[in-house]
Amino acid sequence: MSGKTVHVALIGQPNVGKSSLFTRLTGVGVISSNYPGTTVEFDEGVITRNGTTVCVHDLPGTYALSGTSDDEKVVIRDLSEGKNDAVVVVADSTDLVGGLVLCFETLELGIPVILALTKIDEARRKVRIDIDALSSTLGIPVMPVSSKTSEGVDDLADAICEGKARISDFRVRYSEPVEKAVSALGDGLPEGLPFTPRGTSVKLLENSEEFSSLIDARIGGVADIIRKIHSEDTGSSMEMEIAGNRYTMAQEIVDDIIMESDYQPTLADRISDLTITPVTGIPILTAVCLAILATIVYLGSALDTLVSGIYEKVVGTAIIDLGATVGSDFLTAVLTGIDGSIQAILGLVIPYIMVFYIILGILEDSGYLTRAVVLLDRTMHRLGLHGGSFIPIIVGLGCNVPAIMAVRTIHSRREKVILSSMIVMAVPCSAQMAIIMGATGQFSGIMYAFGILVMLVLLAIATGVLMNKLLKYEPSNLAMEIPSLQMPSASNVLFKTWYRIKDFFMIAFPLLVLGSIVVEILLTFDVLDAIVDPLSPVTVGLLGLPAVCSIAFIVGILRKEMALGMLQILAGGVALDVFMTPDQFVVFGVVMAIYMPCVATLITMWKEIGWKETVAVSVMSVVVAIVLGTATNILLQMF
């Protein structure tokens, strides 16, 4: 089937979990349309695997295929058009009988079918289903799935793409009068009907208008006579008898394949359930995020003080003094740059980034992060992303460099661009967080710092929604199965932390040293000053900040965490809270949080998503930072 587009329809009774399954299967980029001439809506999405593109239609929920409601008519019309290469019948595994009846009806029409048993997570708590027995009874693949945990969704997507759907010769055992009527009608049916003679005959006997319209009125008339005679002879309608036969058979099969389960949920199962059920999962996730934030802020700053104290004691000004001893301005600038870089690395990497990665490692290793991904999957789809994008976003709170690297795991370019933009503009790395908390939080008040964080969340959502609309749709899907919840292993967590910090040293540290040396040289030779004036209409005019802040912003492109230190230097010995007003620190925090990625992130982005997009995202971030900074400035002046 390689290289061609396959059409598959999902059908199922209402409330069996069909739309949840559709969302998991097709991921982002779903298109909703109306059936021509009806108000009935259907969704269409795409799955791609190994060169096969499967266009999946989510048909309206129907109890049966008789054509008694608009929804049923739409489903029958869709099936009769013959454009579906296969149909996935979606049945609720916690209430199988109804789903099996719909499956019988579909099989009877001679359509290739895969049966998906949804809500398997819930069914398993009460019963054991013999899937193989069901599959061999029906003669089609039967796939248990859970849209809640994503279990089996990938296998189902594979089965659809590999063309595993089968036409079955399974037959419902109808009563003798029905069987006789079916064969009598079947013999008179013309060639070339969209469905099998048996299926069409049964539908005619059920008095289905949609099927009557497919054939000659004369045959329809014969069916009417048979139904009339049957009802006079037996006192009950043919439709009732056919439905009764189907239900009896479905019940017999269910009795055969379903067994009592001795399933006892463990504590981990219960906790796991709480984390992925939205009502409890969202508050848990919010609490986890706040706990991460609090740990980074408090434990981070405590470790920062400790590490800086040790550096002061052990090294002090020894490196800078070395330059002074030689008496060269240039060498002093270089050594000051190196000294600043070492301090930044010690003060940033160990307290903030390492702590963050340890927390991340614990969340990953315990299996919690995958649960958050599954929980957020649907919400993230609205932003044009998968739940899996939550991981790079969380990583971005540590450092944007590994976050952009983590974007690599996402296959669609479109999602890479959306996600990179969100990370660069709206996910503050630990250095930006240190500025938001340490400058705005300290000098303007913690509520303003939280206000900036809320603004960033809204900005992330707006960026996602907007870019999702602007960028051309590209199909991608990813169903992540959740591992069991477990105690994280210390060695795993430490290994991962080291692995990630190692990445940081390899990419960010050399740039940090180089950047600092350049800044120090420029400062030493008074070159940066030339930049202040041309930029002051923005810095002073729009943002209401001291003109020299533009230097802090430029330095921040090289190293975000250095912007605050630079501001201290620019203040020229005046205390920061005297140099700038509390309102100015709010604007400074807003701009610092949004504008330009740092050089290390820029280079990583360049490698991952290409230079055009990198430039576009960077320019956009500067514009958004200026707009939001100006708006903040105006608002603060008004109130």
Buried b (16+ CB within 10 A) or exposed e, 291-308: ebeeebbebbbebbeebe
Pick the closer one to ligand GDP by CB: 61 or 629.
61
Pick the closer one to ligand GDP by CB: 125 or 408.
125
Pick the closer one to ligand GDP by CB: 180 or 270.
270
The tokens describing 167, both together, are: 């036409």
We find the least distance from the C-beta atom of residue 274 to ligand GDP, in angstroms, to be: 13
Residue 47 pairs in a beta bridge with 54
Pick the closer one to ligand GDP by CB: 121 or 608.
121
Q: At 509, which amino acid appears?
A: F
We find the least distance from the C-beta atom of residue 535 to ligand GDP, in angstroms, to be: 53
Pick the closer one to ligand GDP by CB: 14 or 265.
14
We find the least distance from the C-beta atom of residue 262 to ligand GDP, in angstroms, to be: 20
* Residue 51 burial (CB count, 10 A): 10
8 A C-beta contact, residue 464 and residue 424: no
**Interaction site with ligand GDP (CB under 6 A):** 12, 14-20, 61, 118-119, 121-122, 146-148
Task: Show the CA angle centred on residue 445, arms to residues 441 and 451, nearest 5°.
Answer: 75
Pick the closer one to ligand GDP by CB: 12 or 98.
12
* Residue 500 burial (CB count, 10 A): 23
- Give the C-alpha separation, 106 to 235, whole Å: 28
Task: Show the CA angle centred on residue 507, arms to residues 506 and 510, nearest 5°.
Answer: 80
Pick the closer one to ligand GDP by CB: 150 or 633.
150
We find the least distance from the C-beta atom of residue 20 to ligand GDP, in angstroms, to be: 3
The DSSP code sequence of 530-588 is HHHHHHHIIIIIIT---TTHHHHHHHHHH-TTHHHHHHHHHTTTS-HHHHS-HHHHHHH
We find the least distance from the C-beta atom of residue 104 to ligand GDP, in angstroms, to be: 19
Pick the closer one to ligand GDP by CB: 92 or 210.
92
Pick the closer one to ligand GDP by CB: 10 or 178.
10
Coil vs helix vs strand at 598: coil
We find the least distance from the C-beta atom of residue 16 to ligand GDP, in angstroms, to be: 4
Q: Distance of CA 314 to CAs 305, 310, 474, 516, 562, Å?
A: 14, 6, 55, 22, 22
We find the least distance from the C-beta atom of residue 22 to ligand GDP, in angstroms, to be: 7
Please state the length of the chain: 639
H-helix or E-strand spanning residue 254: helix 238-257
The tokens describing 373, both together, are: 């991904």
CA dihedral 277, 282, 286, 288 (to 10 degrees): 10
Helices (H) and strands (E) counted in the chain, each on its own, are 31, 9
Pick the closer one to ligand GDP by CB: 61 or 515.
61
We find the least distance from the C-beta atom of residue 113 to ligand GDP, in angstroms, to be: 17
We find the least distance from the C-beta atom of residue 41 to ligand GDP, in angstroms, to be: 12
CB closest to ligand GDP, residue no: 17
Pick the closer one to ligand GDP by CB: 264 or 637.
264
Residue identified by tokens 């620190």 is 585
We find the least distance from the C-beta atom of residue 153 to ligand GDP, in angstroms, to be: 9
We find the least distance from the C-beta atom of residue 542 to ligand GDP, in angstroms, to be: 48
Pick the closer one to ligand GDP by CB: 122 or 503.
122
Pick the closer one to ligand GDP by CB: 16 or 55.
16
H-helix or E-strand spanning residue 323: helix 318-326
Q: Can you give the three-state secondary structure of 363-397, one letter per residue? A: HHHCCHHHHHHHHHHHHHHHCCCCHHHHHHHHHHC
We find the least distance from the C-beta atom of residue 77 to ligand GDP, in angstroms, to be: 20
The DSSP code sequence of 134-195 is HHHHHTS-EEE--TTT-TTHHHHHHHHHTT--B---------HHHHHHHHHHHHTPPS--SS
We find the least distance from the C-beta atom of residue 434 to ligand GDP, in angstroms, to be: 40
Closest CA to 568 of 559, 560, 577: 577
